[in-house]
Amino acid sequence: KGDSQTLRKAMAVAQHHDAVSGTEKQHVANDYARRLANGWQHCQVLVSNSLASLSGSAAKRIYCDHLNISVCPLTESSRQFSVSVYNPLAQPLTWPVRLPVNGTAYRVTDAEGKPVDSQVLPVSRATQEVRRNRGFALNELVFQVRAPPLGYSTYAASLIQDRPPPPPPRH
């Protein structure tokens, strides 16, 4: 059972001027972060339930909260996975997706099975340093997704090539 109340309450606490401007003591900052993370955990269940209802699929949904540092255990280890993109805007969306992977070539298709142009790039050196021992992806799978206003779209990715050398940098 999911709920949005936990995040709502955490957001309410974080309206304090110290939280907004970052002038709280460090242990208070840690507590704000803990409350917000807990709230998001509850919301994830709610979002999963909504998407299951809309899509008619009860498949377990995974959230990757560390995509900004190229960490996502599912995409790093799976040979075949799907990505659902929910667009909260009231206008169509085109958005670049970067997913940490360990293969070097993937076939990406949209919901109708049409191929989508995708590329695999090596993870940047800075990212490797930032994430330290938290992620193992060598590469990132990059492709553009589209989603309708206030709606979602789904893309499928499957590994077609494992471990050839990554493309060399041009400079």
Partner 1 sequence: GAPIVIQNKYLQATFDPDTGLLSSLSNLETKQTIKLTQNFYWYNASDGINKDSHQPSGAYIFRPNSSTLSTVSRTAKAENFQTSVVQEVRQWFAPWVSQVVRLYADSKALELEWTVGPVPVSDGQGKEVITRLDTSIKTAEFFYTDSNGREVLQRKKDFRPTWQLKQTEPIAGNYYPINSRAFIKDDKDQLTVVTDRSQGGSSIQNGSLEIMLHRRLLYDDYRGVGEPLDEASEIFPEGLVVRGRLLLSLERPASAADTHRPLAQEVVFQPLLTFTDGDLK
Chain contacts with partner 1 (rule: CB under 8 A): 18, 21-26, 29, 47-48, 51, 55, 57, 59-64, 67-69, 72, 74-75, 78, 80-89, 91, 93-97, 117-119, 121, 124-127, 129-130, 132, 134, 142-145, 147, 154, 156, 158, 167, 169-171
DSSP annotation of 71 reads B
For residues 1 and 171, which CB has a smaller minimum distance to partner 1 in the complex? Answer: 171
For residues 24 and 31, which CB has a smaller minimum distance to partner 1 in the complex? Answer: 24
The nearest distance, CB 84 to partner 1, in angstroms, is: 5
d(CA 82, CA 75): 9
Other Cβ atoms within 10 Å of 58 Cβ, number:
10
The nearest distance, CB 167 to partner 1, in angstroms, is: 7
The nearest distance, CB 72 to partner 1, in angstroms, is: 7
For residues 10 and 97, which CB has a smaller minimum distance to partner 1 in the complex? Answer: 97
For 35, the token pair is 């409350």
In whole angstroms, how large is the CA radius of gyration of the chain?
Answer: 18
For residues 1 and 90, which CB has a smaller minimum distance to partner 1 in the complex? Answer: 90
The nearest distance, CB 44 to partner 1, in angstroms, is: 8
For residues 14 and 67, which CB has a smaller minimum distance to partner 1 in the complex? Answer: 67
Residue count of the chain, please give it: 171
The nearest distance, CB 37 to partner 1, in angstroms, is: 13
Of 65, 32, 28, 62, nearest in space to 47 by CA: 62
Q: What is the DSSP string of 96-157?
A: EEEEEES-SEEEEE-TTS-EE-EEEEEPPHHHHHHHGGG----EEEEEEEEE-TT-EEEEEE
